[in-house]
Chains A and B, each alone.
Chain A
Amino acid sequence: EMFLTQSPATLSVSPGERATLSCRASRNIYTNLAWYQQRPGQPPRLLIYDASVRAPGISDRFSGSGSETEFTLIIDSLHSEDVAIYFCQQYDEWFFGPGTKVELK
């Protein structure tokens, strides 16, 4: 069975600094990967699909990269509204990663 791992589990970043989140797949998923942001008490919101394409209306402070088994989400110049849990998802089999919690330092 295919699975995703995310690291770190929690990331503390100072406002204005960069956050780098990692997602690793257990097999080659090409670029069939999405990133979601889930703020407290809200449903997930699609940020990135096809590993690197920003969804409509998403700030250019969010960027995705990677392919095959290694993927990265970068949040530039962290804002308070970026405090959330970030999930990656592969959409060959639709499973999600365990999430990375981003908090302000």
Chain B
Amino acid sequence: QITLKESGPTLVKPAQSLTLTCTFSGLSLDTSGESLAWIRQPPGKALEWLALIYWDDDKRFSPSLESRLSVNKDPSRNQVFLTLSNVDPEDTATYFCAHHPDGQAFDFWGLGTMVTVSS
């Protein structure tokens, strides 16, 4: 069974950087075809895909946020990291990580972590 858990700060000031961690079990990011995704959801709004990182360290980003996003992994610790720079109150959202196997749909999700951007 795959499990994922997001963690990070709950409050970030505008213009700062936000780094979130996804800690997972039941999969290996060293295995061909595996990848993890980051998705966010502002309160009361729709889901927004942010980024993907593959087993071979290939990465994909949402075009609208690409200049502010980075994603990295540490397979030895079963962790993936998302950094969003220069945050703004519009970045206030619940941030999810999800398992993305072999180019398919996102089959397992974490519970999400709520981040508020405010001074």
Show the binding face of A for B, using Cβ within 8 Å.
1, 34, 36, 38, 42-46, 49-50, 55, 87, 89, 91, 94-99
Contacts and interface: CB of A to CB of B under 8 A. Distances in A.
Interface of B: 37, 39, 46-49, 52, 60, 63, 96, 100, 103-107, 109-112
Contacts of B112: 43
Contact of A45 (B49, B100, B104, B109): B109
Contacts of A55: 105, 107
A94 B110 contact: no
B110 A46 contact: no
Contacts, number: 50
The residue in B47, B96, B105, B109 that gathers the most chain A C-beta atoms within 10 A of its C-beta is: B105
B49 A96 contact: yes
Nearest to B64: A1
A1 B109 contact: no
A26 to B, nearest CB: 15
Contact of A44 (B47, B60, B63): B47
Contacts of B109: 43-45
A42 to B, nearest CB: 8
The residue in B49, B52, B106, B110 that gathers the most chain A C-beta atoms within 10 A of its C-beta is: B106
Given A87-B46, A97-B46, A98-B46, A34 B105 contact: yes
The residue in B46, B109, B110 that gathers the most chain A C-beta atoms within 10 A of its C-beta is: B46
B63 A34 contact: no
Contacts of A96: 39, 46-49
A2 to B, nearest CB: 11
